[in-house]
Chain A
Amino acid sequence: EVQLVESGGGLVQPGGSLRLSCAASGFIFSSYWMTWVRQAPGKGLEWVANIKQAGGEKYYVDSVKGRFTISRDNAKNSLYLQMNSLRADDTAVYYCARDRKYYDRSGSHQDGLDYWGQGTLVTVSS
């Protein structure tokens, strides 16, 4: 059974840092892209970042570029999101998800985010 379990959320002051973790099990973690998606309270979904299987490609939404870093440790079946210079508008539930992104001769494609964790709440407030 595929499982994704996020941890590391909590209350942090503006300007502070937090590191989220996502522990994966039930599938070959190193074979999949992985993604972080967040959802502010009462709001919609926002794609945050994703990372290729070996970590060689990473992409971010503009609002977190230079502040957040996505990484992974395939030996530990774990995904991470290092969040620095946190702002009030970073307050959200953060989900990790398995990403069915792939490349073929015609380019880069994605067949959706098929498994999600339960989410971890990050609150940025003084």
Chain B
Amino acid sequence: DIQMTQSPSSVSASVGDRVTITCRASQGINSWLTWYQQKPGKAPKLLIYTASSLQSGVPSRFSGSGSGTVFTLTISSLQPEDFATYYCQQADSFPYTFGQGTKLEIK
């Protein structure tokens, strides 16, 4: 199975900050990488697919990049509603696997 490792596991930031989360795959997955946002008690929400495509309705302050084994999710200017947990997920081969999550907290 492909292992997905996110870093950091948690990060504290302030409104207006720029934040970058990294996701590393244990083997190459081309661009088959998806990012989700999850708030407590809620279902995950799709943010980015195929590494860099913004899901409809998602604010443009979210962006994704990378290919192969290293990917990043960047939030250009944090808003209060962005404090949540973020997960990457590979869709290159079964079983699809998620990273362990990155909790974004208010500083």
Contacts and interface: CB of A to CB of B under 8 A. Distances in A.
B2 to A, nearest CB: 11
B44 to A, nearest CB: 6
Interface string B13-41: 00000000000000000001010101000
A100 interface: yes
Contact of B32 (A37, A109, A116): A109
Interface residues of B, number: 25
Given A44-B101, A45-B36, A45-B98, A111 B49 contact: yes
Interface string B84-106: 00010101001111111100000
A104 to B, nearest CB: 13
Given A112-B49, A114-B46, A116-B43, A45 B87 contact: yes
B46 to A, nearest CB: 5
A111 B55 CA distance: 9
B98 A114 contact: no
A74 interface: no
B101 A62 contact: no
A47 B97 contact: yes
Interface in B44-83: 44-46, 48-50, 53, 55
Contacts of B91: 101, 109-110, 112
A46 B43 CA distance: 13
A117 B50 contact: no
Interface in A90-126: 95, 97, 100-101, 109-114, 116-119
B1 A117 contact: no
A102 B69 CA distance: 22
A32 interface: no
A45 B44 contact: yes
A110 B34 contact: yes
- 3 smallest beta-carbon distances between A and B, as pairs: A110-B91, A116-B43, A112-B49
Interface of B: 1, 32, 34, 36, 38, 43-46, 48-50, 53, 55, 87, 89, 91, 94-101
11 contacts: A45-B87, A45-B101, A47-B95, A47-B96, A47-B97, A59-B95, A62-B1, A101-B91, A109-B50, A110-B96, A112-B34
